[in-house]
Amino acid sequence: MSLIVCRDLVKTYSMGETDVHALRGVSLTITAGECVAIMGASGSGKSTVMNILGCLDVPTSGTYELDGVDVSTLGANRLADIRNRKIGFVFQNFNLIPRTTARENVQLPLFYRGIPSREQQALALRALERVGLAGRERHHPSQLSGGQQQRVAIARALVTNPILILADEPTGNLDSQASREIMDMLTRLNTQEKMTIVLVTHEPEIAQYAHRVITMKDGIILSDRPVAESQASPVVMEQAGG
Amino acid sequence: MNLLAMTVLVAFRILSRHRLRSALTMLGIIIGVGAVIAMVSIGQGAKAAVQAQIATYGTNVITVYPGSINVSGVRTGLGGAVTLTSADIEELGKLPHVTDVGWSRREAVQIVHENRNWFTSVNGVVLGYLTIRNWSLDAGDLFIQTDIDAASKVILLGKTVVDNLFLPGEDAIGATVRLKNIPFRVVGTLAAKGFDSRGTDQDDVVFIPFSTAERKVMGTKFIGSIGAGFLSAEAPEYMDQVAADVKRVLRQRHKIRGDQDDDFTVRNQLDTVKLQEGTSESMTLMLLAVASISLLVGGIGIMNILLVSVTERTREIGIRMAVGAKRRHILLQFLVEAVVISAFGGLIGVVIGVAGAKVASNFAGWPTIISSHSMFIAFGFSALVGVFFGLYPANKASRLNPIDALRYE
Ligand SMILES: Nc1ncnc2c1ncn2[C@@H]1O[C@H](COP(=O)(O)OP(=O)(O)OP(=O)(O)O)[C@@H](O)[C@H]1O
Ligand SMILES: [Mg+2]
């Protein structure tokens, strides 16, 4: 079934005299369980699409249905609820709260969901274990490497068991080794947990982890094609083989 | 509850991260609350002291003087005609709600004991006077009715007079002192009353029976003329009525016609109390003004620092919103921060104010009364200031757009 259905998304920023057309009509359908990569030149509107998909921003016009709900009509509180329950975010710059421990960062979505404190802690610790950060739960972001910080961010995204993970250039600030680890983790969430993943990347190698690549240019979708079986990522191959 | 507790915890953590900043922000509230607590304590102490002083005059006392005081404050009709007599006062004793009456006559005299002498005022009094004016004994006995009836040469000495006529440790009771060369036997010494509200030493006084004064010491042109009459009312609420009755009866007895001035003056103790209450009321109003100004300044300080904090933490707000924080969560977080600052400041202010009042009372010898009432009010108000001045920044933070907040540089 379709998890995401977008029709004619338009986003226009008015900058005084001139208007910036970030999106000029994007229609997109993503099925539950897919792993989609969005590519395109800088300024082509990738992040704008992601922010709308993540209910962080609203389109100027067009409709967006997430999990059967028309999101375009919802108020701020309902959107906060949807972000909390259905979506996990991974950002290029990690976006962890500074001077706050890894565990507390991971707990944050559970806190706003109103889960009892003990349960929050237990779930956060388990999520940190899953991203290979057991024992680092008391570290502050500044005491962790970039790759580790991004893993904390992934733990925070998955701790609520969302149906959708949105990752905007999750490896943009990482070296190739750390990038590979992060991508492995994300693809595992896709294959094992059946979470739908949409990621933005500039690197073709990273895009190879996805099943489908959408290319954008100047606020429209230029191409939308599946990744050829032969080009599938090594990890997927390994798992398929093993 | 869990949410609130966590929010308070986070607020404490964030404030302790910027200790100096938080402390400086609190300063306005601390100074305001501290000053108010100290001043209220001192003010209440002073009020109690004045009330105690007023009470040394007696309770619910109405005083009648011969002669009237005209608009310019000059007493007229004194010295010449005799305008007030013991018979007048006795008659006033029959008025409703009057429990006791008494009268006195005063003269300045030299009093001698052995080789010492002292210039004081002698008062010829009746028993009612001593009761109404609340004189109690330090040692010995008061007059008895037979002393009055027989015009006995007995005397009661005030503390100041005792101190000046007798050596320390020397027993005054039973001693003989001379007034105008007339020997008097000391039957009692009086408990000290201290200074009255005009600064007069109330203990620099001696009492002899009214009859003795009239017949043997002062001499009189007219039997029964008195210096002042005293009435005590049953309760404060009757005092105005009694004062009015006194006026009416005296005008009648003195045959004063409608348009003529009184030849006497009635003084109601309640007026003194009211005057004093008026002073303390205006003092309270001034305190209130000082308090509100300093709390206002403190509140603006809190608002200012919170606005800075909201700007600094815009990204954090964005992150919180991205993971599901609703407007009310963000609102609560900043509001709690404001209240923690102001309530904490208020608490410190209370402590400093109490300490200040104690120090002031120790050094300056002022009495202070520290009421838990004023402490709670000051604390509560400072917390309210936090809510009030935190509301705008907190609301501003909660209305941020998630994506704008996340993108904030
Ligand atoms: N808040 C904004 N105000 C004005 N213009 C904006 C704003 N956000 C984005 N834009 C404009 O919208 C267009 C698309 O921006 P977007 O961030 O989606 O690009 P992108 O594809 O993510 O680029 P990059 O690969 O560099 O991240 C750009 O031209 C950008 O300048
Ligand atoms: Mg981008």
Task: Say which ligand is closest to the CA of A43.
Answer: 1
Domain, as residue range, for B337: 2-53+275-407
Among partner residues B315, B320, B401, which is closest to A108 by beta-carbon distance? B320
Q: What are residue B155's phi and psi, to 5 degrees?
A: -145, 145
Among A80, A76, A138, smallest CA distance to A114 is for A80
User: At a CB cut-off of 8 Å and minimum separation 6, what does B399 contact?
Assistant: B327
Taking contacts as CB-CB distances below 8 angstroms, the residues of chain A near B407 are none
Nearest-angstrom CA–CA distance, B161 and B356: 39
Query: What letter represents residue B58's amino acid?
Result: G
- Inform me whether the pLDDT recorded for B80 exceeds 60: no
Among partner residues B17, B315, B326, which is closest to A80 by beta-carbon distance? B326
Q: Is B6 within 8 Å of chain A by CB? A: yes
Taking every pair of C-alpha atoms in chain A, what is the biggest distance, in angstroms? 59
- Inform me whether the pLDDT recorded for B1 exceeds 90: no
Strand positions, DSSP E, B258-341: 264-268
In this structure, is residue B18 part of a structural domain?
Answer: yes
Structure tokens that stand for B324 in this block: 């599901």
- Inform me whether the pLDDT recorded for B320 exceeds 80: yes
Query: What letter represents residue B28's amino acid?
Result: G
Residue nearest to ligand 1 atom 13, measured at CA? A22
In this structure, is residue B28 part of a structural domain?
Answer: yes
Please report how the helices B372-398 and B327-364 are oriented relative to each other, as an axis angle in degrees rounded to 10.
Answer: 150
Select from B180, B201, B234 the last residue of a domain. B234
Nearest-angstrom CA–CA distance, B30 and A38: 56
DSSP of A147-167, one letter per residue? HHHHHHHHHHHHTT--SEEEE
Q: What is the pLDDT of residues B336-376, one digit of tens each?
A: 999 999 999 999 999 999 998 888 888 877 778 888 888 89
Rounded to whole angstroms, what are the CA distances from A84 to A39, A77, A188, B93, B321? 26, 10, 21, 86, 9
Verify that B230 and B186 share a domain, yes or no. Answer: yes
- Inform me whether the pLDDT recorded for B75 exceeds 50: yes
- Inform me whether the pLDDT recorded for B79 exceeds 50: no
- Count the helix, strand and coil residues of chain A and give each as a percent rounded to the nearest 5: 40, 30, 30
Ramachandran class of B386: left when φ > 0, alpha when ψ lies in -120 to 50, beta otherwise: alpha
Q: What is the pLDDT of residues A210-242, one digit of tens each?
A: 999 999 999 999 999 998 754 544 444 444 433
Among partner residues B322, B326, B329, which is closest to A56 by beta-carbon distance? B322
The pLDDT of residue B214: 87
The pLDDT of residue B160: 94
* Exposed / middle / buried, residue A78 (Cβ in 10 Å: 0-12, 13-18, 19+): middle
Sheet holding A69-70, edge to edge: A18-31, A2-15, A61-66, A69-70
CATH number attached to the domain at A2-94+164-240: 3.40.50.300
In this structure, is residue B267 part of a structural domain?
Answer: no
The pLDDT of residue A167: 97
Query: What letter represents residue B326's amino acid?
Result: K
Question: Average per-residue pLDDT in chain B?
Answer: 88
The verdict on a CB contact (< 8 Å) between B326 and A89 is: no
Verify that B304 and B195 share a domain, yes or no. Answer: no
Taking contacts as CB-CB distances below 8 angstroms, the residues of chain B near A84 are 323-324
Kindly state if the Cβ of A219 falls inside 6 Å of ligand 1: no
Kindly state if the Cβ of A45 falls inside 6 Å of ligand 1: yes
Verify that B185 and B301 share a domain, yes or no. Answer: no
- Inform me whether the pLDDT recorded for A51 exceeds 70: yes
User: Of the given ranges (A127-131, A231-235, B46-50), which has the lowest mean pLDDT?
Assistant: A231-235
Q: Which residues, numbered 42 to 81 in chain A, qualify as contacts with chain B under a Cβ-Cβ cut-off of 8 Å?
A: 51, 54, 56-57, 76-77, 80-81
Do A68 and A5 contact (CB within 8 A), yes or no?
no
The pLDDT of residue B322: 97
Range A101-105 average pLDDT: 96
Verify that B306 and B377 share a domain, yes or no. Answer: yes
Coil/strand/helix, residue B331: helix
Do A212 and A225 contact (CB within 8 A), yes or no?
yes
- Of B402 and B49, the one with more pLDDT: B402
Range B112-139 average pLDDT: 92
The pLDDT of residue B82: 61
Please report which confidence band the pLDDT of residue B28 belongs to, taking 50, 70 and 90 as the band edges. confident
Verify that B104 and B218 share a domain, yes or no. Answer: yes
Residue with tokens 């999101």: A71
The pLDDT of residue A20: 94
The pLDDT of residue A70: 94
Domain count, chain B: 2
Distance of CA B297 to the CA centre of its chain: 30
Range B301-328 average pLDDT: 95
In this structure, is residue B111 part of a structural domain?
Answer: yes
Nearest-angstrom CA–CA distance, B256 and B66: 14
Among partner residues B322, B325, B329, which is closest to A89 by beta-carbon distance? B322
B201 DSSP assignment? B
Q: What percent of chain A has pLDDT over 90?
A: 90
Q: What are residue B287's phi and psi, to 5 degrees?
A: -60, -45
Among A4, A61, A7, A60, smallest CA distance to A29 is for A4
The pLDDT of residue B70: 55
Alpha helices, H only, B313-326: 314-322
In this structure, is residue B245 part of a structural domain?
Answer: no
- Return the residue of B nearest to A52 by Cα: B403
Range B393-402 average pLDDT: 95
Size of chain B in residues: 409
Verify that B71 and B49 share a domain, yes or no. Answer: no
Please report which confidence band the pLDDT of residue A109 belongs to, taking 50, 70 and 90 as the band edges. very high
The verdict on a CB contact (< 8 Å) between B323 and A81 is: no
- Of B46 and B64, the one with more pLDDT: B64
* Exposed / middle / buried, residue B309 (Cβ in 10 Å: 0-12, 13-18, 19+): buried
- Inform me whether the pLDDT recorded for B174 exceeds 50: yes
The verdict on a CB contact (< 8 Å) between B323 and A76 is: no
Q: What is the pLDDT of residues A172-211, one digit of tens each?
A: 999 999 999 999 999 999 999 999 999 999 999 999 999 9
Verify that B115 and B200 share a domain, yes or no. Answer: yes
Verify that B48 and B76 share a domain, yes or no. Answer: no
The verdict on a CB contact (< 8 Å) between B403 and A56 is: yes
Q: What is the pLDDT of residues B322-341, one digit of tens each?
A: 999 999 999 999 999 999 99
In angstroms, what is the span from residue B315 Cα to ligand 1's centroid?
18
Nearest-angstrom CA–CA distance, B191 and B189: 7
Verify that B228 and B102 share a domain, yes or no. Answer: yes
Q: Is A83 within 8 Å of chain B by CB? A: yes
Range B185-210 average pLDDT: 90
| Pocket mutation for ligand 1, best pick of A10, A47, A200 (most atoms within 8 Å of C-beta) | A47
Do A54 and A168 contact (CB within 8 A), yes or no?
no
In this structure, is residue B15 part of a structural domain?
Answer: yes
Verify that B33 and B88 share a domain, yes or no. Answer: no
Q: Is B402 within 8 Å of chain A by CB? A: yes
Q: Which residues, numbered 221 to 280 in chain B, qualify as contacts with chain A under a Cβ-Cβ cut-off of 8 Å?
A: none
Please report which confidence band the pLDDT of residue B390 belongs to, taking 50, 70 and 90 as the band edges. very high
| Pocket mutation for ligand 1, best pick of A11, A12, A13, A220 (most atoms within 8 Å of C-beta) | A13
The pLDDT of residue B58: 87
CA angle A217, A223, A226 (to 5 degrees): 140
- Of B194 and A166, the one with more pLDDT: A166
Query: What letter represents residue A36's amino acid?
Result: V
Do B387 and B343 contact (CB within 8 A), yes or no?
no
Nearest-angstrom CA–CA distance, B263 and B25: 65
In this structure, is residue B187 part of a structural domain?
Answer: yes
Segments making up each domain of chain A, as ranges: 2-94+164-240
Distance of CA B279 to the CA centre of its chain: 9
Nearest-angstrom CA–CA distance, A105 and A92: 16
The pLDDT of residue B221: 63
Task: Say which ligand is closest to the CA of A45.
Answer: 1
